[in-house]
């Protein structure tokens, strides 16, 4: 059941390690260009997945209620504090690169999106890991680029992938009666909208607290039961 997630974790670790090895060979200008290119691809992935939903009202309600939950729980603050703890614990203080920034950015990139939700559900419900294998290839390339510019914090995002993605996979069996094609489509739509927001953050256009919107991904399950 967890094969797809373990492959994804390995892809992030290997890709991130390669990125760290080539870090000194990349100029800041090139790294910035690569990051912006990845941001544009991220936005494209988000736009493509956002058309999976069929009911804009469910999207709006999910985003509004999800934001209220996320703000109430201060999810962004919590993951930022987790990133800061990782930085204090492992940073030697001489790299000039924020471990917390790499951890938070990479964690959201790897976990908040259509392929994460759909792939994890497929793994848990049917044992089909193909979507997560495809996602692993994308994350392998992304982690190289992220690590080359954001540093070692990207490697710690592998742990977040294991917990978040693996958790969805393990819980999928319990939630199976409530997860039809329509529900998965709406969840994919919400997650894809968040991916667009993450891409805009990467470009420096916005400073959205994307983590505070993550609860919105799961609200379509409830909304589809109501109507």
Convert the pLDDT of each residue in 20-51 to its tens digit.
888 766 677 877 787 788 788 878 888 988 89
What is the structure's pLDDT at 102? 81
Q: Does residue 197 sit within a domain?
A: yes
Look up the domain containing 47 and give its range.
3-7+38-226
List the one residue out of 213, 175, 178 whose CA is nearest residue 194. Answer: 213
* pLDDT over 90 at 227, yes or no: no
Q: Does residue 144 sit within a domain?
A: yes
What's the pTM value of the predicted model, to 2 decimals?
0.76
* pLDDT over 60 at 92, yes or no: no
Q: Does residue 23 sit within a domain?
A: no
What is the structure's pLDDT at 166? 92
Q: Does residue 26 sit within a domain?
A: no
Write the pLDDT tens digit of every residue in 144-155: 888 887 788 889
* DSSP-derived secondary structure for 18-29: HHHHTGGGS-HH
* pLDDT over 50 at 94, yes or no: no
Q: Does residue 51 sit within a domain?
A: yes
Write the pLDDT tens digit of every residue in 176-225: 776 788 888 898 889 889 888 888 988 889 888 888 998 998 899 899 88
Alpha carbon distance, N-terminus to C-terminus of the chain: 31
pLDDT band at 90 (very low <50, low <70, confident <90, very high): low
Average pLDDT, the chain: 84
H helices of the chain, where?
3-21, 28-50, 56-73, 75-90, 99-111, 114-126, 130-150, 153-175, 181-203, 219-226
Q: Does residue 20 sit within a domain?
A: no
What is the structure's pLDDT at 25? 66
What is the structure's pLDDT at 173? 73
Report the interhelical angle of 28-50 vs 114-126 (nearest 10°).
Answer: 60
Look up residue 119 and give its two tokens.
Answer: 């792939």
CA atoms within 13 A of residue 137's CA, in its CB half-sphere: 5
What is the tally of structural domains in the chain? 1
Q: Does residue 14 sit within a domain?
A: no
Mean pLDDT to the nearest integer, 93-115: 72
């Amino acid at each position: 059941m967890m094969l797809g997630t373990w492959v994804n974790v390995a892809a992030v670790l290997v890709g991130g390690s390669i990125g760290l090895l080539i870090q000194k060979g990349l100029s800041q200008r090139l790294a910035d260009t690569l990051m912006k290119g990845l941001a544009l691809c991220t936005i494209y992935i988000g736009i493509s997945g956002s058309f999976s939903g069929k009911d804009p009202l469910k999207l709006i309600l999910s985003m509004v209620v999800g934001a209220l939950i996320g703000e109430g729980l201060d999810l962004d603050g919590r993951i930022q504090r987790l990133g800061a703890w990782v930085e204090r614990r492992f940073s030697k203080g001489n790299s000039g690169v924020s471990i917390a920034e790499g951890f938070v950015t990479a964690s959201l990139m790897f976990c908040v999106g259509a392929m994460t939700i759909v792939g994890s559900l497929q793994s848990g419900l049917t044992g089909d890991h193909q979507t997560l294998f495809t996602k692993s290839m994308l994350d392998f390339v992304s982690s190289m680029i992220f690590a080359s510019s954001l540093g070692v914090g990207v490697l710690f995002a592998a742990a977040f992938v294991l917990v978040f993605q693996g958790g969805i996979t393990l819980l999928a069996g319990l939630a199976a009666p409530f997860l039809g094609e329509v529900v998965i489509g709406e969840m994919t739509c919400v997650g894809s909208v968040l991916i667009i927001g993450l891409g805009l953050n990467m470009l420096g256009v916005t400073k959205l607290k994307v983590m505070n919107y993550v609860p919105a991904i799961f609200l379509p399950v409830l909304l589809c039961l109501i109507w």
